């Protein structure tokens, strides 16, 4: 139930000066001739609502428009303590959207301080529309401003949601996809390649001796090395290739539509480009070891990653700074 206290508006209070002052200060009545709606104003009610009390909510049907004469209301979405859409100051109105839609309110309207409100019933509102062209125009303006306000809130909320989604799937340091993103996107691309019987390869990349960078030069230097390697991967792999930070100093790439021989040439090019980014402040070059494998028809993502990872560890065991490719067992001659 509404917590507002209702009372009739004494017609004697609505004298000429009050009407002129009222019409000049309220958006709905701006430019309205007092003679056109004066007798209807005397039929309006008023309510006093205490700070913190609820005027409108989705749980309470509404058949009135409320005009703030003094005080302040706040519109919240989702819950009474949810995100704020707008503050309603003296001269503003509430409830017009649900009245026009003939639906329950879609938001919560809460008094931010003790407030005094004018109440226009459903029937009186439409009589005012019929009486005054200026009033009808003002109502349309108020409704359009409310829609713009709501759209702005929705757009801002979507931006926040998009950013939150991006943060959830992006590695903050390298700006590559993270492990969660990789699991989803690699799995989709693997299924697509297998269903269409297309070639594809997976590449696992590890920075050689990365722990030594951190131990000798500090974690900031290590972060710069990670970021630099990520930039090389983005620059020298195709836009259609999927690249992710697998974890720590290890990266993964899914290369759709590429056979193993060409993938190995691509990996060698990456290895050579990484050496070129070695900072002069380091006493040794930055190098990477790469393991490669091609996709088999019966591979799942875990099997594929494990095979590429095993090839990468073979490259490390063989002296690092090199590429080793492994064919799926079933494809061996």
Q: Are 226 and 286 in contact (CB under 8 A)?
A: no
* φ, ψ of residue 243 in degrees (nearest 5): -125, 135
Most confident region among 25-29, 44-48, 154-158 by mean pLDDT: 44-48
Cα 54 versus chain centre, distance = 29
Fold of the domain built from segment(s) 5-162:
Jelly Rolls (2.60.120)
Q: Using one digit for the tens of pLDDT, what is the confidence trace for 118-137?
A: 999 988 988 988 888 888 88
DSSP classification of residue 32 = -
- Distance in angstroms (rounded) separating the CA atoms of residues 188 and 77: 36
Q: Which of 221-225, 283-287, 300-304 has the highest mean pLDDT?
A: 300-304
Q: Which residues contact 251 (CB under 8 A, 6 or more apart)?
A: 176, 204, 205, 206, 229, 230, 233, 243, 244, 245
Q: What is the DSSP letter of 91?
A: T
User: How do residues 167-179 score in pLDDT, each as one tens digit?
Assistant: 678 888 999 999 9
CA distances from 316 to 293, 313, 320 (A): 16, 5, 4
Q: Where are the domains of the chain?
A: 5-162, 179-331
Q: CA 30, 149, 67: angle at the middle one, nearest 5? A: 40
Cα 41 from Cα 123, distance rounded (Å) = 12
Contact 319, 326 (CB under 8 A): no
Residue 158 structure tokens = 């979507």
Summarised one tens digit per residue, pLDDT across range 255-293 is: 999 999 999 999 999 999 999 887 766 777 899 999 999
Strand 108-121, strand 242-247: pairing: unpaired
Q: For helices 219-236 and 210-217, give the axis angle rounded to 10 degrees.
A: 140
Q: Give φ, ψ of 60 to 5 degrees.
A: -120, 115
Closest CA to 154 of 95, 103, 106: 106
CATH homologous superfamily of 179-331 equals Reverse transcriptase/Diguanylate cyclase domain (3.30.70.270)
Kindly indicate the confidence band of residue 7, based on its pLDDT and cuts at 50, 70 and 90: very low
């Amino acid at each position: 139930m509404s917590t507002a206290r209702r009372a009739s508006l004494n017609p004697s209070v609505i004298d000429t000066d009050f009407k002129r002052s009222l019409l000049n200060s309220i958006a709905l009545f701006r430019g309205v001739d007092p003679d056109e709606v004066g007798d209807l104003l005397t039929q309006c009610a008023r309510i006093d609502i205490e700070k913190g009390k609820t005027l409108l909510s989705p749980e309470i049907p509404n058949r009135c428009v409320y005009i703030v004469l003094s005080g302040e209301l706040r519109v919240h979405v989702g819950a009474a303590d949810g995100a704020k859409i707008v503050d309603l100051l003296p001269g503003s109105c509430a409830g017009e959207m649900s009245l026009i839609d003939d639906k329950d309110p879609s938001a919560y309207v809460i008094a931010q301080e003790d407030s005094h409100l004018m109440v226009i019933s459903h029937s009186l509102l439409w009589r005012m529309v019929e009486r005054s062209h200026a009033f009808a125009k003002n109502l349309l303006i108020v409704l359009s401003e409310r829609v713009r306000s709501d759209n702005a809130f929705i757009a801002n909320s979507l931006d926040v949601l998009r950013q939150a989604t991006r943060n959830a799937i992006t590695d903050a340091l390298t700006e590559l996809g993270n492990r969660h993103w990789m699991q989803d996107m690699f799995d989709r691309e693997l299924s697509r390649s297998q269903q269409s019987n297309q070639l594809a390869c997976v590449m696992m990349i590890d920075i050689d001796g990365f722990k030594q960078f951190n131990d000798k030069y500090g974690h900031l230097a290590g972060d710069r090395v990670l970021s630099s390697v990520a930039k090389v991967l983005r620059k020298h792999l195709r836009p259609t290739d999927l690249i992710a930070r697998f974890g720590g100093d290890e990266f993964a790439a899914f290369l759709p539509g590429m056979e193993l021989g060409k993938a190995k040439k691509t990996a060698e090019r990456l290895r050579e480009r990484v050496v070129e980014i070695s900072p002069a402040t380091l006493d040794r070059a930055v190098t990477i070891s790469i393991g490669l494998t091609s996709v088999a028809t019966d591979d799942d993502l875990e099997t594929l990653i494990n095979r590429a990872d095993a090839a990468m560890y073979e490259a490390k065991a063989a002296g690092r700074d090199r590429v080793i490719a492994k064919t799926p067992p079933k494809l061996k001659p």
